[in-house]
Amino acid sequence: MTFLLADSGDGGSLIEWIESFGGSAWVLALVLVFATLASEDLTCIAGGILAANGVIPFAGASCACALGIWLGDLGLYGLGVLADRSRRNWRWLNRLARPSVILRGRQVFERHGVKWIFLSRFLPGTRVPSYVAAGAVRWSFRKFALALALASLVWTPILCGASFFAGHVVLGWLESYQRWAWPILIGTAVLLWVLLRLVLPLFSWRGRRLLHIRLARLRRWEFWPVWVVYPPVVLWLAWQALRRRSPFLFTCCNPAIPHGGFAMESKGDILDLLHCPDESRIRIARYRRLKACEEGENRAGEVAAFLSEEGLDYPVVLKPDIGERGQGVAVIRTAAEAAYWLAACREAAIVQEYIEGPEFGVQWGRGPEEKCGEVPSLGGKHAQCLKGDGESTLEELILKHPRASMMAGYFLAKFAARLEEVPAGGTRVDLTEIGTHARGAVFTDERQHITGELREVLDGIGDHSPGISFGRYDLRVPSLADLQAGRGLVILEFNGVTGEPIHVYQPGYPWRKGVRDLCRHWSLACEIGAAHRRMGVEPGSLHELWRLVRAHRKRAWFEADDLCREDGDE
Is the pLDDT assigned to residue 556 strictly greater than 70? Answer: no
Mean pLDDT, rounded, of the chain: 82
Indicate whether 198 belongs to any domain. no
Indicate whether 90 belongs to any domain. yes
Phi-psi region of 221 (alpha: psi -120 to 50; beta: other; left: phi over 0): alpha
Q: Which residue has the higher pLDDT, 141 or 494?
A: 494
Whether 179 and 96 share a structural domain: yes
Report which of 207, 209, 182, 181 is spatially closest to residue 195, judged by C-alpha positions.
Answer: 207
End-to-end CA distance of the chain: 75
What pLDDT band is residue 457 in, cutting at 50, 70 and 90?
very high
pLDDT at 381: 94
Each residue's pLDDT tens digit, 296-340: 467 888 999 999 999 999 999 999 998 877 788 889 999 999 988
Indicate whether 565 belongs to any domain. yes
Each residue's pLDDT tens digit, 349-373: 999 999 999 999 999 999 998 989 9
pLDDT at 467: 92
Whether 139 and 245 share a structural domain: no
Last residue of a domain, one of 408, 431, 454: 431
Percent of the chain scored above 90 by pLDDT? 38
Indicate whether 192 belongs to any domain. no
| Alpha helix positions (H), 195-230 | 205-219, 226-229
pLDDT at 366: 94
pLDDT at 13: 54
Indicate whether 190 belongs to any domain. no
Whether 28 and 132 share a structural domain: yes
pLDDT at 125: 62
Full residue range of the structural domain in which residue 251 is found: 204-285+356-383+432-538
How many independent structural domains does the chain possess? 4
In angstroms, the CA 43 to CA 45 distance is 5
Indicate whether 51 belongs to any domain. yes
Do 493 and 474 contact (CB within 8 A), yes or no? Answer: yes
Count of beta carbons in the 10 Å neighbourhood of residue 39: 14
Indicate whether 199 belongs to any domain. no
Whether 310 and 438 share a structural domain: no
Q: Which residue has the higher pLDDT, 517 or 74?
A: 517
* Residues whose CB falls within 8 Å of the CB of residue 505, separated by 6 or more in sequence, listed in order: 222, 379, 437, 443, 514
Whether 406 and 443 share a structural domain: no
Whether 86 and 17 share a structural domain: yes
Percent of the chain scored above 70 by pLDDT? 82
Is the pLDDT assigned to residue 568 strictly greater than 50? Answer: no
Indicate whether 10 belongs to any domain. yes
Each residue's pLDDT tens digit, 392-445: 999 999 999 999 999 988 888 888 888 888 999 888 988 888 888 888 889 999
Whether 525 and 439 share a structural domain: yes
Whether 131 and 39 share a structural domain: yes
Q: What is the CATH number of the domain that holds 553?
A: 3.30.1490.20
Whether 269 and 395 share a structural domain: no
Indicate the SS3 state at residue 475: strand
